[in-house]
Amino acid sequence: MRKILIVGAGQSGLQLALGLQSQGYEVTLMSNRTADEIRAGRVMSTQCMFHTALQHERDLGINFWESQAPRIEGLGVSVAAPDSSRAVDWVGRLDGYAQSVDQRVKMAGWMETFAQRGGQLVIHGAAVSDLDYFSRTYDLVLVSAGKGELVSMFGRDASRSPYSEPQRALAVAYVHGLGPRPEHPDFDAVRCNLVPGVGELFVMPTLTTSGRADILFWEGVPGGPLDVFQGVKDPSEHLALTLELMEKYTPWEYARATRVELTDANGTLSGRYAPTVRNPVGRLPGGGLVLGVADVVVANDPITGQGSNSAAKCAASYLASIVEHGDQPFDETWMRGTFDRYWDTAQHVTKWTNAMLGVPPEHVLGLIGAAGELQPVADRFANGFNNPADFEDFFYDPEKTAAYLASVTGA
């Protein structure tokens, strides 16, 4: 039986661990926190996942919270006008629903399942020196430790990383008591509110430790008026700031948030990071090789809500590559080929996310505006969050955008 070590128990590490376990591999999972510590800890993400990523979980039979989590059936975009009214406002319908399950709930639950099924769970914050030792005793070491210190083993790929600094300051608050969206109270949707030059507010339902809740998520241009959460330690102060900024920049969202309260004292998060693609193979001081997974190798800004989706897709792709490789050695050629197979999908996510971080060109503004008049355009844009490769056909190139809009209007 092949022995595999997975370092880091997030979306990608746990999904891979459970997938390999079900195929008979001998899996050791190393986590720097216990399930209880994760469950009682700070929120980590907004983790909205779309159909394709959710299907990977269904395929493994680990969609344990699907019936409890709100079904997100639409994705809406609003653009704030200078007078804080809405210059654009539409909602596209998703072909398959999206869901957000608080990672505190999901990772803690998956970790317990892994251990109950006989998996070897080691609670230890791994250092490079540990991996050096372990790489000799396992057939394969996978590093799925997110954006933490272990990324230092994987060199930055400058050709695929256009930004060397964070492009947004992030501030998340989980709340109870948010009112329904007045336009479409009949179905749940992610709301993307764009405030030109300032940042974005995302609002979405989730399933958290205390049941259904909503997430208020500001992404602020660094140094701008939304970049005010650094150093705010008091969760009530964080929420008050969130609401103050909503009242000023997105009053239509504030109108339904006047009665919210935090879900719990750990229901806020702030921070920032530079989007980075890395060399997927890490070489240890003793010569052993490790393969990076998900955020370790491709970390995009959450502006497009893709990281957990990508982590699920990466785990599914790596699982297939491992199983198909049978008993052959997991050497560098295999590692690079395994990453390249994932990059076929991930490159579209990175390209689109990095484009969304920049100032939108005229034809993209036109496309977003047209979606307000043409429902098929709104629907296609919304479903692009499930399959970002589709943006190649109508988003980047002004001629393709014009041809697509003409095809919809029949012009």
Ligand X SMILES: Cc1cc2nc3c(=O)[nH]c(=O)nc-3n(C[C@H](O)[C@H](O)[C@H](O)COP(=O)(O)OP(=O)(O)OC[C@H]3O[C@@H](n4cnc5c(N)ncnc54)[C@H](O)[C@@H]3O)c2cc1C
List of residues contacting ligand X (CB under 6 A): 7-13, 30-33, 45-49, 125-126, 144-146, 148, 150, 170, 172, 269, 294-295, 302, 305-309, 311
C-alpha 387/C-alpha 71 separation (Å) is: 18
Which CB sits closer to ligand X, 257 or 294?
Answer: 294
Q: How far is the CB of 46 from ligand X (least distance, A)?
A: 4
By C-beta, is 8 or 267 nearer to ligand X? Answer: 8
Give the Cα separation of 271 and 166 in Å (integer).
10
For ligand X, which is the closer residue by CB, 200 or 295?
Answer: 295
Return the number of the residue (148 or 366) whose C-beta is nearest ligand X: 148
> Which residues lie below 8 Å from residue 24, measured CB to CB, with a gap of 6+?
1
Which CB atom, from 35 or from 260, has the smaller least distance to ligand X? 35
Question: Which one, 253 or 370, has the nearer CB to ligand X?
Answer: 253
CB of 204 to ligand X, least distance (A): 7
Nearer to ligand X, 299 or 405 (CB): 299
The CA distance from 372 to 245, in Å, is: 25
Cβ proximity to ligand X, 280 vs 302, nearer residue: 302
User: Smaller CB distance to ligand X: residue 10 or 372?
Assistant: 10
Nearest distance, CB of residue 407 and ligand X, angstroms: 30
Least distance to ligand X, CB of residue 49, Å: 6
- Residue 313 is encoded by which pair of tokens? 């897709």
Residue 85 CB contacts under 8 Å (≥ 6 apart), including other chains: none
Closest separation in Å from C-beta 399 to ligand X: 31
Q: Which is nearer to ligand X, 31 or 250 (CB)?
A: 31
Q: How far is the CB of 366 from ligand X (least distance, A)?
A: 26
* CA atoms of 403 and 384, how far apart (whole Å): 18
Minimum CB–partner distance for residue 47 and ligand X (Å): 5
- Residue 39's contacts (CB-CB under 8 Å, 6 or more residues apart) are 104, 105, 108, 209
What string of H, E and C letters represents the secondary structure of the chain? Answer: CCEEEEECCCHHHHHHHHHHHHCCCEEEEEECCCHHHHHCCCCCCCCEECHHHHHHHHHCCCCCCCCCCCCEEEEEEEEECCCCCEEEEEEEEEEEEEEEECHHHHHHHHHHHHHHCCCEEEECCCCHHHHHHHCCCCCEEEECCCCCHHHHHCCECHHHCCCCCCCCEEEEEEEECCCCCCCCCCCEEEEEEEECCCEEEEEEEEEECCEEEEEEEEEECCCCCCCCCCCCCCHHHHHHHHHHHHHHHCHHHHCCCCCCEECCCCCEEEECCCCEEECCEEECCCCCEEEECHHHCEECCHHHCCHHHHHHHHHHHHHHHHHHCCCCCCCHHHHHHHHHHHHHHHHHHHHHHHHHHCCCCHHHHHHHHHHCCCHHHHHHHHHHCCCHHHHHHCCCCHHHHHHHHHHHHCC
Q: How far is the CB of 170 from ligand X (least distance, A)?
A: 4
Least distance (Å) from ligand X to the CB of residue 295? 3
Please, what is the minimum distance in Å from the beta carbon of residue 5 to ligand X?
11
Q: To the nearest whole angstrom, how small is the minimum distance from the Cβ of residue 209 to ligand X?
A: 16
Indicate the residue among 110 and 254 with the shorter CB distance to ligand X.
110
Residue 289 structure tokens = 């090789």
